[in-house]
Structures are given as structure tokens and as C-alpha cells.
Amino acid sequence: MHNKSEREAVLLEYSHDFRLVAASLAVSLMASFTGLALTRGISLLSETHRKQRIAMASVALGGGIWSMHFVAMLGLQMPILFYYDALLTLISALVAILMVGVALLVMHYWPRTSASVCIAGTIVGLGIPAMHYIGMLGIQLCKAVYTPVGVVLAVAASVILGIGSFSIAYGERTHRNIILSTITFGVAVFTVHFLAMAGTNFLPTLQSSNVAAGIDNSILAMIVTLISFVICGAFLLSGVTFWPNEKFLPESGYPEPKEPMLASDGSFQANGSDAAPTTFAIPYEKDSRILFAETSSVAAIRAEGHYTIVYVGLNKLFCPWSISDAAKRLAGSAFVQCHRSYLINPSHVTGFERKKDNGVCFFENNPPLGKVPVSRSRLSNVRSALGL
């Protein structure tokens, strides 16, 4: 903030290199896509793999916030030379990564509700300006001074855009929403930086408090270039694997390996014959392999974008079928479609509640599933399947 002596001092004029401004936006978007793409499907992984993916996504998003800031700062042009305090520069990066990590832990370990989305979005929204102002505090040989309006605008915009990004990303876990949230989050980081800079002025100081431990622009450029290169590589790898590619499915000329089938108690059973799995075996992915679950062991199938989640006991499994594919392939089996997003196995239903125009099926033996809505148009079919 400005005090009287600062108002009387001569403020430094500064400008930005718009090529680096554009580069900072590109870095922000690539890091946002990489981090958010890594979070997709985390809930289906084992505890160890889930933590690893959250850590990777935190580094991608938090590191992207930091990289965007310092790519833009490389484009900051002032009439004096200036340095960055090495310790404060490192702390700013760690703060960004830590706060993103906390937000992702909230999203993937707490019940996913509107409140948890707002909490996670707020944490990230506070983390972006925290990283920015800590990084600015590290500038040596000149001092950044801020207007109250600039600080309030930057923080408010960051929180609002953070909540918006997480609402989109976790509203529906589809490819479309990941891309939309990438744009929202990437633009949020970019916008917050330049809103904060619009409310910032610089005053020259006589000397640095610790020039020996400083980082000049040439060293910073090398560090940021290396990190940006890593972000670009991660972005390309994420982009290649983001959309499923049928070319990489096994060719029909080679026999499929016989995989164990998941029974209702969660144990694996070998297929009893040399024949391929039956038509009613439901495929799911685990540890980069395609396995199969017995239909009798499956309590329900829920739509998840272009894919589905299969509920077997305490397990939530990722199935490559869409909900419409599942309905067609399981036609003639015991499964009943009770809602546009759900197929249920009546033998696993432990209770039914009739509402005014619809209903609810309870699955008390399948805690991850809990209860499933029954739409009005499918109510009679479900009641018939349950013998009601």
C-alpha cells in the first residue's frame, strides 16, 4: 500500500513485452489442461495411485501458476536492473503447489458437494494471489507497492474464477467439461496476474537486502524455460491419452488373454473354460488391463460421460462402455434401466421407496452406491422387476 513518503517518491515507469504476455497465457492453458486431465478418473484408482495422481496434478497446476507468473515477469521492462530473492521465489512456487494440492484432496477425499467445490475453488482462488504477492515480495533493487482496489479486485476475481473452474471441472467429468475448465482456469491465472499488476507500482531502493542470494533475469529465464518445456511435454502426453483411440485396442487376429472375473465378494475367479468371456461379462479397466466382472456380482452401472462406473461390492470400476452400450449389451439380462444414467440389478436392491412421481432404490450392501433414483417413466418397469 502507499504511504506518504512513497507517494512523494518517483515511481518507476514499466511496460510489458507482449510476446512474453502471450507465452504466459499459453503456459497457463497447457498447465491447466495437464493438471485437470490428470484428475479425471482418480476416484477409480487404488489409494496409492490416487495419491500419486493428486501429487502429479498439484505439481502441474501449481507449477503452471508459478511458471505463468514468472514468464510474464520476464516480460516486465523497467529502467533499472532488478533481481529476485531465491528463497522467496522458491516459497512462492511451493505455496502454489501446496494450495492446489489441498484443494484436490478436498475434491477427491471429501463427499463431492456444492460446498466442497466452493471450498476447493476458494483455496485455489486464494493460492493464486498468494503465490503472486510472495513472488513480487522477492523483487530486489526496487519495491512493489499496491493499491487497495487492485489487491481486492485480484483476490475477488481469483476466488470467483477458481470456484467457477472447479464447478465446471467437477460438475460432470466429461471431456467437454475438462476442456472448458482448462480455459476457465488458465484464463483465471492469467487474469489475476495482470489485474494485480494493474494495481501495482514500483519504487527504486538503494540496495538489495541480499543480492548475493538473488536470481537475475537471465538465470530466471533459464529456469522458467526448462519448467515450461516440461509443462509442454506433459501437455502433449496428456493430450495424446485424453481421447480414447480404437487403433490401440487388440486386433481381432490375435486371441484375447483369459482374464479373471470379479465375483460379488470382491474375489477373482478364473474363467472355467477356454471360451472367451460370455456376452454378459462386463469389462472394466484396472492397472492398465481389461478384466471382466460377472453380471450377477454387479449391483448397478452408472453413466460417467462417455463411459460408465460399475459397482461391485465395495468397488467402483471404470467400464469403457457408455450407458447406452451397456443397456443394449445387457438386454435380456436381469438388469433394468431405472434412470437415464443408471442400470440396476434388482437382486442387489435392499429397499424401495415410492415418491410422488418417481422412486428410490436402496443398495445398503453396496456403500459406494447407497441409493439410486428411479425416474417417473421407468417406475413401472422397476416395480415389476422388484415384484411390486
Provide the grid cell at 353: 421407496
- pLDDT at position 280, please? 60
Neighbouring CB atoms inside 10 A of 44's CB total: 20
Residue showing cell 477373482: 268
- pLDDT at position 101, please? 92
- pLDDT at position 83, please? 80
Give the residue ranges of the chain where pLDDT is below 50: 6-8, 211, 245-279
pLDDT tens-digit series, residues 258-285: 444 444 444 444 444 443 334 468 888 8
E strands, the chain, are 15-16, 76-77, 83-85, 139-140, 142-146, 200-204, 214-215, 261-262, 268-269, 282-286, 289-293, 300-304, 307-312, 315-319, 336-339, 342-344, 351-354, 359-363, 370-374
Instruction: Let me know if 286 is exposed, middle or buried by CB neighbors in 10 A (0-12, 13-18, 19+).
Output: middle
The answer to whether the CB of 88 falls within 8 A of the CB of 134 is yes
Q: Is the pTM of this model over 0.85?
A: no
- pLDDT at position 118, please? 93
Could you give the CA distance from residue 258 to residue 286 in angstroms, rounded to a whole number?
15
- pLDDT at position 277, please? 39
